[in-house]
Amino acid sequence: MPVLLLPTGKALTVRTAADAFLDSLTNPNTVRNYGIALGKTAEHLGEGRPLAAVADDEIGGALELLWGSSAVNTWNARRGAVLSWTGWCAERGYDGPAVPAWAKRLPPPDSDTPVRSKMAIDRLIARRDVHLREKTLWRMLYETCARSEEILDVNIEGLDLAGRRAPVKSKGAKPKVRRRGTVRADYVLETVFWDAGTARLLPRLLKGRTRGPVFVTHRRPGPGKMLSARDVCPDTGLARLSYGQARALLDQHTAHAGPGTGWDLHEYRHSGLTHLGEQGASELMLMAKSRHKKVENVRRYFKPSAAAIVDVTALLAPGDARR
């Protein structure tokens, strides 16, 4: 592999520094995303300018002009790419600017996913026209606060009915890159827990089945559909229920103005975490339940009840007032 010899000091241009940084990255997805940010930033600053001649405020000004009116996530992503680039240059002793302190990372916005009340969820699951399969899936999504794909991927062999838990394959934070440049998702095994509602429904749904997918279709797949052995029940020949099928079934029972206007499967996870936050669950417990890796991602659910706030306020009372 050829070694890129970089000039030092003022001879290092903005474009050369950006290309060298991108060449140091191994993840093709990161290269593509960072390339967008650095390409536009370098073009705005002047690709042929010496990197050492660029001021900190020019970096901040470029970010503000290019993405100041963009969505919060876009701003944070582009800012993070430029921050990584300037930090990489500084670590290698190249004279250059830094992202100014005033170009701050913005807090993530509140989710626009609707929060369904516990009563609305209970009523939907209790409806007589809802099949046992959907009742169990929706109750399990709500009580585990797991992602839909994780629950649909669970097999009976992994269920711990007595312990009310099961391992799920959760996508890791960082993808792994193979030698040939292709990206493979890094999955990790994590445990989800459910409560009495799911515990009552699961045995009825399984009907003595001991292996294969927990949630299956009502019809066998056609002869032209190729499925892995893990995605077919060996006893009944029924296939694993897909995310698209599960989403359509939920929409069918909740749509109020035509197809596509009903609930979304993610609303069970979002509602469950929100209800836990409203009941005073701590941020650490919410992170343990949701398996989020960053605390800012669970702060939207941290909504203690009025009673919990009263109890905390009582700690500030004079000593004799609490006797």
**Within a domain: 28:** yes
Given the residues 164, 220, 292, 303, the one annotated as active site: 292
Same domain assignment for residues 206 and 266:
yes
Active site residue 176: yes
Q: How many whole angstroms separate alpha carbon 42 and alpha carbon 58?
A: 11
Task: In whole angstroms, give the CA distance from residue 273 to residue 287.
Answer: 10
Same domain? 34 vs 125: no
- The low-confidence residues of the chain, meaning pLDDT below 50, are 1-5, 9-10, 173-185
The full 3-state SS of the chain, as one line of letters, equals CCCCCCCCHHHCEHHHHHHHHHHCCCCHHHHHHHHHHHHHHHHHHCCCCEHHHCCHHHHHHHHHHHHCCCCHHHHHHHHHHHHHHHHHHHHCCCCCCCCCCCCCCCCCCCCCCCCCCHHHHHHHHHCCCCCHHHHHHHHHHHHHCCCHHHHHCCEHHHCECCCCEEEEEEECCCCEECCCCCEECCEEEEEEECCHHHHHHHHHHHCCCCCCECCECCCCCCCCCCCCHHHECCCCCCEECCHHHHHHHHHHHHCCCCCCCCCCCHHHHHHHHHHHHHCCCCHHHHHHHHCCCCHHHCHHHCCCCHHHHHHHHHCCCCHHHHC
- Final residue belonging to a domain, choices 41, 56, 91: 91
Query: 144 and 87 in one domain?
Result: no
Q: What local confidence, expressed as pLDDT, does residue 178 receive? A: 42
> Which of these three, 91, 110, 134, is where a domain ends?
91
Active site residue 94: no
The predicted structure's pLDDT at residue 96? 92
Whether residue 151 lies inside any domain: the answer is yes
CB 8 within 8 A of CB 94: yes
225 included as an active-site residue: no
Domain presence at residue 3 = no
In a domain, 311, yes or no: no
Domain shared by 35 and 176, yes or no: no
Q: Which of 32, 105, 176, 293 is catalytic?
A: 176
Residue 322 included in any domain: no
Catalytic annotation present for 204: no
Q: Report the DSSP pairing between strands 187-193 and 183-184.
A: unpaired
With respect to residue 308, please indicate whether it lies within any of the assigned structural domains. no
Give residue 134's domain range: 118-301
Query: Into how many domains does the chain fold?
Result: 2
Task: Provide CB contacts within 8 A for 296, sequence distance 6+.
Answer: 107, 108
Give me the catalytic one of 147, 240, 270, 300: 147
Note whether 212 and 260 are same-domain residues.
yes
Choose among 66, 18, 58: nearest CA to 38. 18
pLDDT of residue 303: 73
The rounded Cα 312 to chain-centroid distance in angstroms is 31
Q: Which of 15, 133, 269, 275 is catalytic?
A: 269
pLDDT (0 to 100) of residue 302: 77
- Do 131 and 57 reside in the same domain of the chain? no
| Residue 184 annotated in active site | no
Spatial CA neighbour of 280 closest among 319, 307, 251: 307
Q: Which of 165, 209, 253, 266 is catalytic?
A: 266
79 and 172 both lie in a single domain? no
pLDDT reported for residue 182: 40
Same-domain check for residues 67 and 190: no
Asked if the structure places residue 37 within a domain, the reply is yes
Same domain, 82 and 128: no
Q: Is 147 a catalytic residue?
A: yes
pLDDT in tens, 131-178: 999 999 999 999 999 999 999 999 999 999 999 999 998 865 444 444
Same structural domain, 60 and 185: no
